[in-house]
Structure 1
Amino acid sequence: MVSSRRASLLLTFTVTVMAITPALSQTTGGGLPGFPPTSQLECWKIINSVAGCTEQLLKSFEELKFDFLPDCCKAIIGIPSPCAQWIFPFGLSLGEQVNKYCTNLLGAVPSPAS
C-alpha cells in the first residue's frame, strides 16, 4: 500500500511539473530558471519521437520499475544533460538509474556526461 501511494504521489508530481512549466512560459516569458522554455519542448520532442516512450517513462515512474523498449532507451540515452535534469526532476540519481538500465538493455557504453 505504501509503494502504491508513493507511486501515485510521484506520478502526480510529474504530471504537475509537466502541466505547470508551459503555463510559466506563457505568463512569465520563461520556464524553469536558467533553462529556456523552447529547450524544454525540445527535450520532450526527443522522448515523443519514439511511439509510446512517454507512456513507458510515466509507467516506470508510477510502478517504480523500469521497463523500456530498446527504441525508447535509445531516445533516453540520447537526452542531453540539461534535458535529463528537467525530465527527471527528482534528482540525478533517477536519471542515472534509467540511463544505466537502458545502457544495459542495449549493451552500449554510456556517453560521457556533458
Structure 2
Amino acid sequence: MDYEVFLVSRMQEVYSQTKEPKKAILAGIQDSGKVVIAAGLIMIAVFVGFMLTPDAMIRSIGMALAFRVLFDAFVVRLTLVPAVMTLMGKAAWYLPKWLDNILPKIDVEGESILKHKEHKTERKSS
C-alpha cells in the first residue's frame, strides 16, 4: 500500500533534521499515523461494500481484501515497522555511499532551493 510513504517519509524528514531515530519515529507516527488510519478505514469500507453483493466470489474477495488492509495498515504499518525501526536505531537509516551516489536526490519540500537561495544572499551581503 502507498500510505507507507506518508509514514516513513515524515520519519525521514525529522531524522534528517535531528539525527535522532526515536524522535523521528514518534513524529512520523504522530503526524502521519492519522493518514494511515484514515486510508485503511476508507479501503476497508470499500471492501466491506463488496461483501454486500449477492455474488459469492465478489463477497469472498471483498472479505479477503478487507482483512488484508486491516492487517497491513494496523499491524504492519503502525506496529511492526516502527518497532523494527526503533530496535534498529541509527542502523535503520544507514545508506551505503555507493548507493547514495547512484540514487537521485529528490527534495520534495524544496529545502535545497531555500538553502541555495540563502547562501546566495549571504554572498551578496558579504
TM-score by length of 2: 0.27
* Bigger share in helix: 2
TM-score by length of 1: 0.28
- Structure of larger gyration radius: 2
